[in-house]
Chain A
Amino acid sequence: MLTREQPVAALEASATSSTLLDIHKIAKSFGKNVVLRGISLQVAEGEFLTILGESGSGKTTLLRIIAGFESATSGELWMGGERLDRLPPYKRRVNTVFQHYALFPHLTVEQNVGYGLRVAKHSASEIDAQVEQALARVKMTAYAKAKPSKISGGQQQRVALARALVKRPQLLLLDEPLSALDANLRRQMQLELKSLQREVGISFVFVTHDQDEAMVMSDRIALLRAGELEQVATPREIYSRPATSYAAQFIGHTNLLRADVRDGVVHCGSLFWTSQLPDGSALLSLRPENIEVAAPSSVPGNVRFRGKLRHKAFHGASELLQIECTDGLLFSVRTEARSDWQGELEFEFDPADAFPVRNSEAA
């Protein structure tokens, strides 16, 4: 197994604001099937943390362990100086927004929102006031008397949010809450959710398999792969400096270059440039947008290469070109969209943008 260094961003986050939830070496197996392999992660107060991973990565299991619906095989959860993992779900100051909302079908919208207060035996007048406020916050006041089956998916989503927030949890867990919505509504809800989180100041732990969603909303992303944390960092950092080849490929698009470093010179196919990397083989990530069509006057230090255009994909503002060099190297290059890209072209990139990543496959 790889030794994992503490990512810089996580250190910063835990240094600047206090830790709310401490996930300590949580492991989970279902029979022989190991789902989580010793996850350690801190959630800071007021933070929007996204657990990002493909299906089967263990992200939902981790969330269910925090909520209390599953118990970990080993490891501990600490929240506010208290062992969280020993409490039943109904005693945890954690609330969940479920993937399919899980609204009570026999209760109206306002009864759903008031449920958590009613079981806690708050007074009727207090429940009414809080429910009204919560419904106003998610703009669902008009539907207070409706049954959940009579409102749309996006509206059910809002009610589920209000129902969880009315409990004033210290931590809100969201299990792919947007996955059932269509693309437009989804983008709108992403922004609403993010601004709602800033407004209420509660820590959100958001689970998704959608990297764009994670990038748009999160303060930090915890990338989970096959039950292990691949990288924990801010969206900007995880994109510009992915720790592993998996992170580089899963978040955004990248060129992975296999290179040999000898005496401070990186050799990649017929290309070479000087660098500070230690000798040996290296895997480099070079984002398509960091490669440019070569300017007539060469920028000093840039690496230039020529290649044939094999394929191009139009993306609106930009275009993604597939370039094959004479030595067989393939590059993806993101350029401005132009209709006249063709034949053999010359490109250049700053070697500083080709940074080393750990090879995930070797793990």
Chain B
Amino acid sequence: MFSRAYRAVVTVPPLLWVTVFLLIPYALMFCYSFWMVSTSQTIVHSWSLANYRQLLTVDVYWQTLLRSMWIAARVMLFSLLLGYPLAYFLSFYAGAKKDLFYQLVIIPLWVSYLVRAYAWKTILGSDGVLNTLLQYVHLTKHPLEFLLYSPFAVVLTLTHIYTPFTFLPIYASLEHIPRNLVEASSDLGASPAQTFWRVIFPLSIPGVLAGATFAFVLSLGDFLAPLLLGGPSGIMISNIVVSLFGAAYNWPLGAAISLCMLVLVVSLLFVSERLEKKWSFS
């Protein structure tokens, strides 16, 4: 068996890490969410549910939360619509070029998030690549304003950034489908479309669920894309949390919103995992 020293070496650091960087901050955040900021801008350690009441009653908070969910839902949908066909093509039809295509999908993940977000800024801006092109070919007379500083820009950028995250689990689940099942389906008289909808798609559902969860959860918590490209109408809930912890100096309210987000995300992950289990058959 392993010695005590060995066991201590392998178990203590991760436990410490989890405690110091996860459990304690969460506990602090939990406490903060019940505290208050006094009129003299100090945090008062008196317990109340006022922050949560504020979150539900002040329009800007719950509306931004809903908008964030709506943006995340659209990002999820578009990532699936882009990621699934790509993964399907790669897994079933790319043949010898499979690895090359796979690398091409992965490479953007090595590029900094900021660089990619700024790239969209130069593409979508009033003097950006897209508007210049549209005016050059006389499709539009004036720069299109809705392209940048809008929820549209946020959805577009987040879709671009998170599609590889949707692609990967879908690709993995498609790769796991035994090819003799596809042959068996064809052998039993199913057309390629029937084989896809009756065999391939149902067996790839765990990957779709994992990919959808990635896209939704990661977009929901995003704050850089709305900050850089969202403008006033594209603000998301994380931007509000950032400002509450920063300029507004209302840590208790920020903590309450964060905690709500945490509960939301954890329950989503829980449901998604249950569904994935229900749909896996290996």
Contacts and interface: CB of A to CB of B under 8 A. Distances in A.
Interface of A: 67-69, 88-91, 94-96, 98-100, 102-106, 115-116, 119-120, 147, 149, 163-164, 167
Contacts of B198: 115, 119
Interface residues of B, number: 20
A115 B185 contact: yes
Contacts of B199: 104
B187 A67 contact: yes
Given A69-B183, A100-B180, A147-B281, A105 B188 contact: no
A104 B181 contact: yes
9 A-B pairs with the lowest CB-CB distances in the bound complex, closest first: A105-B281, A116-B188, A102-B184, A102-B180, A119-B190, A89-B186, A96-B187, A90-B186, A119-B194
Contacts of A147: 281
Nearest to A175: B180
Contacts of A116: 188-190
Given A98-B180, A119-B194, A106 B203 contact: yes
Nearest to B184: A102
Output the residue of B184, B187, B203 with the most chain A CB within 10 A.
B187
A90 B187 contact: yes
Contacts of B95: none
Output the residue of B178, B180, B189, B202 with the most chain A CB within 10 A.
B189
Contacts, number: 71
A103 B180 CA distance: 9
A120 B189 contact: yes
Given A98-B180, A147-B281, A106 B202 contact: yes
B84 to A, nearest CB: 18
A164 B189 CA distance: 10
Given A69-B183, A102-B180, A119 B281 contact: no
Instruction: Decide if the interface of chain B is mainly helix, strand, loop or mixed.
Output: helix
Interface string B188-205: 111100100011001100
Nearest to A89: B186
B103 interface: no
B248 to A, nearest CB: 51
B184 A96 contact: yes
A149 B198 CA distance: 18
Contact of A95 (B181, B188, B202): B188
Nearest to A166: B188
Interface of B: 178, 180-181, 183-191, 194, 198-199, 202-203, 279, 281-282
A167 B180 contact: no
Contacts of A95: 187-188
24 contacts: A69-B183, A69-B186, A69-B187, A89-B186, A95-B188, A96-B183, A98-B180, A98-B183, A98-B184, A102-B181, A104-B184, A104-B185, A105-B203, A106-B202, A115-B198, A116-B188, A116-B190, A119-B185, A119-B188, A119-B190, A119-B194, A120-B189, A164-B187, A167-B188
B194 A102 contact: no
Contact of B183 (A102, A106, A120, A163): A102
A91 B187 CA distance: 8
B258 to A, nearest CB: 39
A165 B80 CA distance: 38
A115 B188 contact: yes
Given A100-B180, A104-B185, A149-B281, 20 more contacts: A67-B183, A69-B186, A69-B187, A89-B183, A95-B188, A96-B183, A98-B180, A102-B178, A102-B180, A102-B184, A104-B181, A106-B203, A115-B198, A116-B190, A119-B194, A119-B198, A147-B281, A163-B188, A164-B187, A167-B188
A120 B185 CA distance: 12
A90 B189 contact: yes
B281 A106 contact: yes
